[in-house]
A and B are shown apart, each in its own frame.
Chain A
Amino acid sequence: MYKILTKKQLAPKIYMMDIEAPRVAKSALPGQFIILRIDEKGERIPLTVCDYDREAGTITIVFQVIGGSTMELAKYEAGDAIADFVGPLGQPSELVHEEKESLKKKKIIFIAGGVGAAPVYPQVKWLHEHGVDADVIIGGKSKDFILFEDEMKKVAGNVYIATDDGSYGFNGMVTDCLKDLVENQGKKYDLVVAIGPMIMMKFVCKLTKELGLKTIVSLNMLMVDGTGMCGACRVTVGGETKFACVDGPEFDGHQVDFEEAMRRQAMYKTEEGKLFLEAQEKAEGHVCHVGLGGDK
C-alpha cells in the first residue's frame, strides 16, 4: 500500500497529493509518469509526475476529476493509502539528456494548459536547477484554474498567464498569448514544450508550425499496463506507430497525428458519460473554447 501524506485542492475539481513511494521517488525524472490503482477493483490510471522528493521518498501528483476513478481518488484524504503506485514510467524529457552548455544557450518556452501545469512544473524546475530559466505560459479557462503560478515564478524566467475569459492576465487562449509574444513583443524561442488537453496541444502545434518553432508535446493516451506490453496507448508519430508509454509520452508535436490520438483517447467514452459530463460542465458555467477557433 502507498500512503497519501498530503492532499490539497488547487482549483475546482483539481487536487494535489504527495504519495509515499521511495523507490519511485529515487529514480523519477521530469517528463515521466506513474500508474496508480486505488483498490483491488480499481483500474490502472496514468498520471504525470509533478514533483519528487528523493530524501522524503515522495512523489507529487496532480489530477482533475474527469471520471469514476478520479472522482473516487478525490475522496481519499491524507493518511489513507492506495493499493498500487508504479513508476517512473516513460522516457524522461529530452532536455534531461542534453549537453548543459547547449541547453543554457536555448530559449525555451513552456505552455501549460489547465492541469498540464503539473507536468510542466518539474521540467521548468529541473532547468532552473541547471542554470536555465525558461519562459512559461500558464493557461486556464478562468483565474480559478491557473495552477502553480507562484511555484512557477520561483523557477521560471517570465511567467505569462492567459485566461479564456480574461478574468486574469492575458485575455485569450494560450495560442493567442504565444502569438502575441512572438509577433508583437519580439520574443524569440528555439523550442516550445506544450502540455495540456490534446486539443490545446494540437492547436499549439498548428501555430508553431506556421511560426517555424520546434514543439514537444506530452501525450496523455489511454493506458493499461504502461510498460509496453499491450499497445493501448499507440499513436502515429511521423507515420510510424509508437507506444506512448515506452517511446513517449513526449514526442515532436509536428509529427503527431492528433486526429487519431484524440479519437483513440475517446474510445471508452460512452454517450451517456459524455452527456453527463457536458451537463455538469454547463451547470458550472464553463464552455471550453480552446482551439475551437472562431467562436471567441
Chain B
Amino acid sequence: MDRMKRIPITEQDPKVRATNFDEVCLGYTKEEAMKEASRCLNCKKPMCVTKCPVSISIPEFIQHVKNGEFEEAARVIARSSALPAVCGRVCPQENQCEGKCVLGNKGEAIAIGKLERFVADWARENNVNVAETKPSNGKKVAVIGSGPSGLTCAGDLAKMGYDVTIFESLHEAGGVLVYGIPEFRLPKEKVVKAEVENLKKLGVKIETNVIIGRTVTVDSLIDDEKFDAVFIGSGAGLPMFMGIPGENLNGVFSANEYLTRNNLMKAFREDYITPIKAGKKVAVVGGGNVAMDAARTALRLGAESHIVYRRSEEELPARAEEVHHAKEEGVIFDLLTNPVEILEDEKGWVKGMKCVRMELGEPDASGRRRPVPIEGSEFVMDVDTVIMSLGTKANPLVANTTKGVEINKKKCVIADEETGLTTREGVYAGGDAVTGAATVILAMGAGKKAAKAIDEYLSNK
C-alpha cells in the first residue's frame, strides 16, 4: 500500500446517478476505512485538529478506526460533534482538517471526512447510543431555529442537563440540511432525521411551525414561558436577486425556492403534491455550493443544466469535490459569463438570457480578481429556466421583534465571537444569523461555543 495515496471511495456511476436522487458517495466499507485509517501518522501535534471548527480529536478517533474499535471512535467524535454523519458529508474538509494534514504536503491528505462519516454511519446502523446526559438541572433554554447551529447548541445543553426546546418555523427540523442540501449529498431519512432523533433521545423538545417574531416573540418566551436563556440560530435564509430586467418572469427561481420545492417538499417524487417546473434547459447563475446543488438537481429532473459564473474556474467558491461531481454528471460550465437581462416569450415565460462575456482584472477587496465585462460581447443563451444562486442574507425578523438585541448593517445579529452573547443579557446567537451565509461546521462551532457560554451564565446565576 502506498501511504501517500488515499483508499478510493465507491461512488455511483455518474451516468446512472445523474438520473436519480440517491446518494452519490457510497462511503467506505469497514476494511476500506481501517486501511485508510492506517495511513494516519498519529501526529504528536496534530494540525488537522486545529482546523476543525469543533476541535474533534481526529488522530484519536482514527486510531480506533484503524484497530476496528468503531464504537470507541464514535464516542471520541461525540465528545465534540453532535452531527458527524452530516459533517462528514458536507464539510469543506479540503479547507479545514484535511487541508492541514501533513500527508497532504507530499501526497494525499487522510480522508478525515469520509472516516468520520463511516464511523457515524456505522454507529447509526448498529444502534450504538453514544449519548450521555447529566441529570436535569431544571433550567430552561429556548433555541430558535433547528439548523446546524441550533441542533448543536441544543444537543450540548441537553447533555449538560438543561431542559431545551427548539422552535422551528418550517414543518420539519434541520434547516438547510433539509431544505437546502439535496438528497444525493445528504440523505434526509437515513441521516438528517436520524441525527435529529438522536437529539430527541437526549431529551430535546422540538416545536415545529413556530415562527419567532410572529407566532411568539423572544420576549414572551422569557417573560411568559419562563425560559432562562435563549439561543438565536435563525440562519441567513433570505435569497438575493440580481436586479436585472426580466427577473420576475415565470421560470425564474431563487435557488432557495427550487431546492426547497425539491428537498423539503420532495417535488421530485411522484407521490408528493408540490409541483416543480424543472425546465428543459436551465441556467443556474452563481458558483457556490448552492449553485452546484441546484444545477445537479435540475439535471436529475431531466434538464440540460448550465452553471453561469462571472469569474473563472479557479475562483468558483464551491467545493472542488462538488464541481468535479457536477462535471462528471454532465453539468455544463459557462464561465466568465454574466447575465444582463432575462428575455420573455409572448406568455411571460423565460425564453432566453442575455449575457456578457467577462475578463478578470485587478484583485478586489475579497482578494479575487475582479470580473470586468468585455465590451460588445453580448450574446443570448437559449434557456427556459433561470435559477438565481447569488447567496443569501440574514432575516432580521427575530432581532427586530426582540427588545435589546441589535443588528449590524448587514442585518446580522451582533454577538460576541467567543461566547455568542448578543447585546442583551441571557440572549445568545450563532451561525449564519451572526456571520451571514457560511458553512455547516462553522455554525456548529458557534452553537457549541454558545452552549458553553450559556452554561457558564446560568451556573453563576
Contacts and interface: CB of A to CB of B under 8 A. Distances in A.
Given A41-B272, A241-B247, A263-B250, A87 B238 contact: no
Query: Looking at B209, B216, B392, B395, which has the most chain A CB atoms within 10 Å of its CB?
Result: B209
Given A41-B272, A43-B273, A229-B239, A86 B171 contact: yes
A69 B179 CA distance: 21
Contacts of B216: 23, 26-27
A241 B241 contact: yes
B256 interface: yes
Contact of B170 (A23, A42, A225): A225
B107 interface: no
Interface stretch (B257-265, B323-331, B446-454): B257-265
B349 to A, nearest CB: 9
Contacts of B170: 225, 227
A43 B179 CA distance: 14
Interface range for B:
35 or more
B248 A23 contact: no
Interface range for A:
35 or more
B348 interface: yes
Contacts of B215: 23-24, 27, 86-88
A37 B260 contact: no
A230 B392 CA distance: 10
B248 A87 contact: no
Interface in B370-418: 392, 395, 397
Given A41-B273, A84-B171, A227 B211 contact: yes
A236 B257 contact: no
Contacts of A86: 169, 171, 209-211, 215
Contacts of A292: none
A55 B238 CA distance: 35
Nearest to A266: B250
B94 to A, nearest CB: 29
A254 interface: no
A291 interface: no
B424 interface: no
B257 A230 contact: yes
A260 interface: yes
Given A229-B239, A241-B247, A43 B265 contact: yes
A267 interface: yes
Interface in B223-274: 237-239, 241, 247-248, 250, 253-254, 256-257, 260-261, 265-266, 271-274
A277 interface: no
Contact of A44 (B256, B265, B392): B265
Nearest to B214: A88
Contact of A231 (B171, B254, B274, B277): B254
A42 B273 contact: yes
Contacts of B271: 41
Query: Looking at B179, B241, B261, B348, which has the most chain A CB atoms within 10 Å of its CB?
Result: B348
B208 interface: yes
B239 to A, nearest CB: 5
B104 interface: no
Interface in A226-248: 227-232, 234-236, 241, 246
Interface string A59-90: 00000000011000000000000011111110
B209 A231 contact: no
B317 interface: no
Interface string A19-51: 000011011000000000100011110000000
A27 B273 CA distance: 30
Contacts of A41: 266, 271-273
Contacts of B254: 230-231
B41 to A, nearest CB: 44
Contacts of B171: 37, 44, 83-84, 86
A1 to B, nearest CB: 11
A263 B239 CA distance: 21
Interface of B: 169-171, 179, 208-211, 214-216, 237-239, 241, 247-248, 250, 253-254, 256-257, 260-261, 265-266, 271-275, 277, 347-348, 392, 395, 397
Interface of A: 23-24, 26-27, 37, 41-44, 68-69, 83-89, 224-225, 227-232, 234-236, 241, 246, 260, 263-264, 267-268
23 contacts: A23-B210, A23-B215, A24-B215, A37-B171, A41-B266, A41-B272, A43-B273, A69-B273, A84-B171, A84-B208, A84-B209, A86-B211, A87-B214, A88-B215, A225-B179, A227-B170, A227-B397, A229-B260, A230-B257, A232-B257, A241-B248, A246-B397, A268-B275
Given A68-B273, A225-B260, 13 more contacts: A37-B171, A69-B273, A86-B211, A88-B215, A89-B211, A224-B260, A225-B170, A227-B397, A229-B260, A230-B256, A236-B248, A263-B250, A264-B250
